[in-house]
Amino acid sequence: MTNRQILLKSRPVGWPTLDNFEVATVDIPKPANGEVLVKVIYMSVDPYMRGRMSDAKSYAEPFAVGEPCQAGVVGKVMESNNGKFPEGTYLMGMGIWGNYFVTDGTGFQPIDASIAPLHYYLGILGMPGMTAYVGLTAIANLKEGDQLFVSAASGAVGQVVGQIGKNMGCHVAGSAGTDDKVAYLKDELGFDAAFNYKKGDIYKSVKTANPKGIDVYFENVGGPILEAVLNNINDKARIALCGMIADYNATVDNLPVGPRNLTALVKCSVKMQGFIVFNYLKECQDWIPLGAKWLKEGKLKYRVSVAENIENAPQAFLDVLAGKNFGKQVVKLADE
Amino acid sequence: MTNRQILLKSRPVGWPTLDNFEVATVDIPKPANGEVLVKVIYMSVDPYMRGRMSDAKSYAEPFAVGEPCQAGVVGKVMESNNGKFPEGTYLMGMGIWGNYFVTDGTGFQPIDASIAPLHYYLGILGMPGMTAYVGLTAIANLKEGDQLFVSAASGAVGQVVGQIGKNMGCHVAGSAGTDDKVAYLKDELGFDAAFNYKKGDIYKSVKTANPKGIDVYFENVGGPILEAVLNNINDKARIALCGMIADYNATVDNLPVGPRNLTALVKCSVKMQGFIVFNYLKECQDWIPLGAKWLKEGKLKYRVSVAENIENAPQAFLDVLAGKNFGKQVVKLADE
What digits encode the pLDDT tens for the residues A152-178?
999 999 999 999 999 999 999 999 999
Q: Which residues of B touch A276 (CB under 8 A)?
A: 269
The CATH homologous superfamily to which domain B3-123+303-332 belongs is Medium-chain alcohol dehydrogenases, catalytic domain (3.90.180.10)
Please, what's the b/e burial string for A267-286 (b: 16 or more CB within 10 A of its CB; e: otherwise)? bbbbbbbbbbbeebeebbeb
Q: Are A126 and A71 in contact (CB under 8 A)?
A: no
User: What is the C-alpha to C-alpha distance for residues B231 and B207, in angstroms, rounded to an integer?
Assistant: 8
A223 touches chain B (CB under 8 A): no
User: Which residue stretches of chain A have pLDDT < 70?
Assistant: 57-59, 245-255
Q: Does position B327 have pLDDT exceeding 90, yes or no?
A: no
B279 touches chain A (CB under 8 A): yes
Please list, in sequence order, all residues whose beta carbon lies within 8 angstroms of the beta carbon of residue A198, skipping any fewer than 6 positions away.
A177, A178
Contact B269 A267 (CB under 8 A): no
| pLDDT class of B300 with cuts at 50, 70, 90 | very high
Count the Cβ atoms, other than its own, within 10 Å of residue B236.
Answer: 15
Domain with CATH 3.90.180.10 in chain B: 3-123+303-332
A212 touches chain B (CB under 8 A): no
> Which residue of chain A comes nearest to B247, CA vs CA?
A263
Q: Are B170 and B145 in contact (CB under 8 A)?
A: yes
Strand partners, B215: none
Mean pLDDT along residues B272-279: 94
DSSP label at residue A137:
I
Q: Which residues of B touch A242 (CB under 8 A)?
A: 266
A47 touches chain B (CB under 8 A): no
pLDDT of residue B253: 66
B115 touches chain A (CB under 8 A): no
pLDDT of residue B250: 64
A241 touches chain B (CB under 8 A): yes
* Max CA distance (Å), chain A: 62
Q: Which residues of B touch A235 (CB under 8 A)?
A: 59
B51 touches chain A (CB under 8 A): yes
Topology of domain A3-123+302-332, per CATH?
A: Quinone Oxidoreductase; Chain A, domain 1 (3.90.180)
The amino acid sitting at A308 is E
Q: Are A122 and A265 in contact (CB under 8 A)?
A: no
> Which residue of chain A comes nearest to B140, CA vs CA?
A271
Identify the CA nearest to A138 among candidates A285, A268, A267.
Answer: A285
B254 touches chain A (CB under 8 A): no
Q: Which residues of B touch A244 (CB under 8 A)?
A: 262-263, 266
User: What is the C-alpha to C-alpha distance for residues A288 and B330, in angstroms, rounded to an integer?
Assistant: 58
Cβ-Cβ pairs closer than 8 A, A with B, add up to 114
Q: Which residues of A touch B259 (CB under 8 A)?
A: 258, 262
The CATH homologous superfamily to which domain A127-278 belongs is NAD(P)-binding Rossmann-like Domain (3.40.50.720)
Give the tens place of pLDDT for each residue, B144-170: 999 999 999 999 999 999 999 999 999
User: What is the C-alpha to C-alpha distance for residues A155 and A76, in angstroms, rounded to an integer?
Assistant: 27
The Cα angle at residue B24 between residues B23 and B27, in degrees rounded to 5: 150
Distance, in angstroms, between A243 CA and closest chain B CA?
6
Q: Which residues of A touch B263 (CB under 8 A)?
A: 222, 244, 247-248, 250, 256
B280 touches chain A (CB under 8 A): no
> Which residue of chain B comes nearest to A248, CA vs CA?
B263
Lowest-confidence region among A157-161, A323-327, B44-48, B311-315 = A323-327
pLDDT of residue A66: 96
Give the tens place of pLDDT for each residue, A270-298: 999 999 998 999 999 999 999 999 999 99
Q: Which residues of B touch A271 (CB under 8 A)?
A: 271-274
Which three-class secondary structure state does DSSP give residue B82?
Answer: coil
> Which residue of chain A comes nearest to B248, CA vs CA?
A263
One-letter-per-residue 3-state SS of B69-120? CEEEEEEEEEEECCCCCCCCCEEEEEEECECEEEECCCCCEECCCCCCCHHH
Strand partners, A38: A77, A101
CA torsion angle for A101, A105, A106, A110 (degrees, to 10)? Answer: 110
pLDDT of residue A254: 65
Distance, in angstroms, between A246 CA and closest chain B CA?
10
User: What is the C-alpha to C-alpha distance for residues A209 and A203, in angstroms, rounded to an integer?
Assistant: 10
Which three-class secondary structure state does DSSP give residue B215?
Answer: strand
Which three-class secondary structure state does DSSP give residue A270?
Answer: coil
Q: Are A310 and A45 in contact (CB under 8 A)?
A: no
Task: Provide the pairing of β-strand A36-44 with A109-110.
Answer: unpaired
Contact A271 B276 (CB under 8 A): no
User: What is the C-alpha to C-alpha distance for residues B23 and A264, in angstroms, rounded to an integer?
Assistant: 32
First CA to last CA across chain B, in angstroms? 14
Helix (H) or strand (E) holding B21: strand B21-26
Q: Give the E-state strand segments of chain A in sequence order.
A: 3-8, 21-26, 36-44, 70-80, 90-96, 100-103, 109-110, 147-150, 171-176, 193-196, 214-219, 233-241, 271-274, 304-308, 328-332
DSSP label at residue B234:
E
Nearest by CB to A266, which of B241, B265, B279?
Answer: B241
| pLDDT class of B203 with cuts at 50, 70, 90 | very high
pLDDT of residue A231: 95
Question: Mutating which of B53, B141, B207, B267 best tests the A interface, going by the most A Cβ atoms within 10 A?
Answer: B267
Q: Which residues of A touch B268 (CB under 8 A)?
A: 59, 274
Domain with CATH 3.40.50.720 in chain A: 127-278
Q: Does position B129 have pLDDT exceeding 70, yes or no?
A: yes
User: What is the C-alpha to C-alpha distance for residues B297 and B115, in angstroms, rounded to an integer?
Assistant: 12
Mean pLDDT along residues B36-65: 90
* Residue B187: half-sphere exposure toward Cβ, Cα within 13 Å: 6
User: What is the C-alpha to C-alpha distance for residues A39 and A92, in angstroms, rounded to an integer?
Assistant: 11
Which three-class secondary structure state does DSSP give residue B272?
Answer: strand
Give the tens place of pLDDT for each residue, B205-263: 999 999 999 999 999 988 789 999 999 999 999 999 998 766 666 666 666 778 888 98
Q: Which residues of A touch B273 (CB under 8 A)?
A: 265, 269-273
A334 touches chain B (CB under 8 A): no
Q: Are A166 and A174 in contact (CB under 8 A)?
A: no
Distance, in angstroms, between B243 CA and closest chain A CA?
6
B222 touches chain A (CB under 8 A): yes
Q: Does position B103 have pLDDT exceeding 70, yes or no?
A: yes
B226 touches chain A (CB under 8 A): yes
The amino acid sitting at A50 is R
pLDDT of residue A243: 82
Nearest by CB to B260, which of A256, A261, A267?
Answer: A256
- What secondary structure does DSSP assign to B287-332, as a single string? HHHHHHHHHHTT-----EEEEESGGGHHHHHHHHHTT---SEEEEE
What is chain B's mean pLDDT, rounded? Answer: 93
Identify the CA nearest to A162 among candidates A179, A180, A146.
Answer: A146
Q: Are B280 and A70 in contact (CB under 8 A)?
A: no
The amino acid sitting at B58 is S
pLDDT of residue B255: 67
The amino acid sitting at B148 is L
